A = this chain, B = another copy of it.
């Protein structure tokens, strides 16, 4: 149990190791807290007690509690990404508009299922606001973009006529619409719908959007501003 029993472990490595262990302990404690009591329950003193360190130690591995919440949110995003299954379907590309619509519905239902299974964690994803003037880190928006690309693939199959920028934009809007249905539908203070009811609503509307979008392909959209 001596300090330097492993050869090649420079002192600075061991320091980094301790830092990483503390970081992990804090992250785990924060994750438990958010999952069990929500983002608002994330308090420095409780966190330090749970992680077995002093309050000041938190600020040696995270600039502030916002960064810690952001780190938890990244884990939530990864969790959701895993819940969606492998990015590429084994059978390759999506063959037709019907399959594309089915895939969009599948993604929407998976989103709803995840939000229903981890309500507080998922709530933290959108409730958390960085301090004013501060931008979200690059790795965070990159992770977001990775998830959006899951929508872009079936959408491109649904609307092969769309140029790529428009497709990316529409994919994001499609996500936003789905998010709205899930977020307000699960919101206890606003709609508080049962998940089963919400599933039906979500499928109805996502399928309606898919159908309606294919109908617009013939360029009959008379709303050209």
Question: A residues engaging B (CB < 8 A)?
Answer: 105, 129-130, 135-136, 144, 169-170, 172-181, 183-185, 189-191, 193, 197, 200-205, 207-213, 215-216, 221, 223, 225
Q: Is B178 touching A144 in the complex (CB atoms < 8 A)? A: no
Contact between A221 and B204, CB atoms less than 8 A apart: yes
Q: How far is the CB of A153 from chain B (nearest CB, A)?
A: 19
Residues of chain B with a CB closer than 8 A to A105's CB: 223
Name the B residues within 8 Å of A130 (CB-CB).
Answer: 189
**A181-B176, A208-B212 known; A203 vs B191 contact (CB < 8 Å):** no
Q: Is A215 a contact partner of B211 (Cβ separation < 8 A)?
A: yes
- Ordered by A's residue number, 12 sampled pairs between the chains whose C-beta atoms are within 8 Å are A105-B223, A129-B189, A172-B191, A173-B202, A178-B180, A180-B184, A204-B216, A205-B212, A207-B216, A208-B212, A211-B212, A212-B212
A173-B144 contact in complex given A105-B223, A215-B211, A223-B207, C-beta closer than 8 Å: no
B201 touches A208 (CB 8 A): no
Instruction: Give the residues in chain B near A210, CB-CB below 8 Å.
Output: 208, 212
Closest residue of chain B to A209 (Cβ to Cβ) is: B208
Partner of A176, one of B172, B184, B189: B184
Contact present for B181 and A177 (CB under 8 Å):
yes
User: In the complex, what residues of B have CB within 8 A of residue A144's CB?
Assistant: 190
Kindly state the separation between the CA atoms of A178 and B25 in the bound complex, as whole angstroms.
40
A12 to chain B, nearest CB (A): 36
Question: Do the beta carbons of B170 and A176 come within 8 Å of each other?
Answer: no
Distance in angstroms between the alpha carbons of A7 and B199 in the assembled complex? 63
14 other contacts beyond A144-B190, A169-B201, A205-B212, with CB at 8 A cut-off?
Answer: A129-B189, A136-B190, A170-B201, A172-B191, A173-B202, A175-B184, A176-B181, A177-B205, A178-B180, A179-B180, A207-B212, A207-B216, A208-B208, A208-B209
